[in-house]
Chain A
């Protein structure tokens, strides 16, 4: 019987090691630990162009992550993209005139939404909409504008 007990202990150790490994993968390797407690509220913002923004992209204020993008839809009445953001509920004092911009982390990094608090007295509530938005910068457009302005400069110099 002792043999069978030792065998069961070995199997128990194996199972425990497996679950510890799964736990380690979930907590230490992946981003589970940055999910927060789960209490959150939704606010929306419309953008002319969301660029490479994706669902689950981070939402930051002053570089601190306060939430995630939970949905991206297209509104075919206003021809704009509607982005729903899930903000963790302990960050609940954003003024009403907070603005939202889509930025890129690094030169080629992923895109995220940066909120910039305004100065209004009243705060954004669940379901409210951010009115001041700045669309994603599309690299082709910037390069196109740059080339266009260079060409225009050239014409001015040699008429």
Chain B
């Protein structure tokens, strides 16, 4: 080993290099882990009960926060949109504003962020604790593949419930906007819906929104199960894994949202 002179710059560079290599290594492990999960998915078809149980804890239990947030986001959009549009005498377009912003952006993105906070963190903590208490090693001792028994059902459940949650969020949000716009502020009922139907396109807007939420569901579920499975098996490690899940999912979702939006709506 060559002896490097003791210059602070080298220490600093070494720290930078180490963190870079560490990030790359984690990324690589994450992808190998994803490959492992994929390879056990066919075996999961014989045990749909496992997925149903996870759908309950990931999907059904997230329902309340999704519905309540969707309702309030829709109501706020209704209020804010009305205040802006009324200046131009275009308050009939409120339905378009509410529906387009929900279906294209807020539905998939906000429900993915809520999903990361509500379900992703729980998944990571659960799997991380299983690892810390050596339940996963115990399963391996009994020739049960923990990836097939524990990780894959949670991944599939997260991936499946995300588009449904996003759709529920958008639908409830549209009714929230309807409640505020038509019910409280006196926008015309018929114009609200007909303008919305005229301007919101099924393929351009609704399908692309669903595709977004599928991608977000994939990424959020992947990050959650990987962080849990990769956690340092101590109580501190599990807490760090939980935090990282929420932070990384939020960053990934927002970054991907930009990329997807540019791809879908960028060229006209």
Chain A contact residues, CB within 8 Å of chain B: 4, 7-8, 10-11, 13-15, 17-22, 24-26, 28-34, 56
Contact = CB atoms under 8 A, between A and B. Distances in A.
Contacts of B168: 17-18, 21
A65 to B, nearest CB: 10
The interface residues of chain B, by DSSP majority, are classed as helix
A19 B161 CA distance: 11
The interface residues of chain A, by DSSP majority, are classed as helix
B53 interface: yes
Given A17-B168, A21-B167, A31-B200, A11 B55 contact: yes
Given A28-B197, A30-B200, A30-B202, A7 B170 contact: no
B171 A21 contact: yes
B210 interface: yes
Interface residues of B, number: 31
Interface of B: 49, 52-53, 55-56, 59-60, 63, 99, 103, 161, 163-165, 167-168, 170-172, 174, 193, 196-198, 200-202, 205-206, 209-210
Contacts of B56: 7, 10-11, 14
Given A7-B52, A10-B56, A22-B163, 4 more contacts: A21-B172, A25-B209, A29-B103, A29-B171
A30 B170 CA distance: 12
Contacts of A34: 197
Given A14-B60, A17-B164, A30-B205, A22 B210 contact: yes
Given A7-B56, A14-B55, A31-B202, A25 B170 contact: yes
